[in-house]
Amino acid sequence: MALFFVQHQHDAASCPAGDARTAPQLLQLLASAPQSGVTILADAVVDGAHQLNLIAAADQPATVERFMAPFAQFGSVDIRAASHCESVVDRGHC
């Protein structure tokens, strides 16, 4: 499984957490990650910044892209290939 750093950012006006209808859907979507072929290893929302960050594992970038597609209706989605620190040290470069 490949490792990915995923960042979703949206405006305050379109914040799904503040909407009684979309907030539960947000949690359901994150909980459905395994059924989508994505393992969420960590998640964090930067307080006040309307920015969700995930460290996720999946077989390929397209799997993460499909999983994150619903977030694109609220703002940007950036998916980047990543590595564990130990792997970077073993190969000798970032």
Residue in 19, 4, 3 with CA at minimum distance from that of residue 73: 19
58-73 pLDDT tens trace: 999 999 999 999 999 9
Asked if residue 14 has pLDDT above 90, the reply is: no
List the CATH number of the domain containing 84.
3.30.70.1060
- In terms of pTM, does the model score above 0.85? yes
Asked if residue 39 has pLDDT above 90, the reply is: yes
Contact 77, 8 (CB under 8 A): yes
E strands within 18-67? 39-46, 51-58
Q: How many domains does the chain have?
A: 1
Range of the domain at 49: 2-91
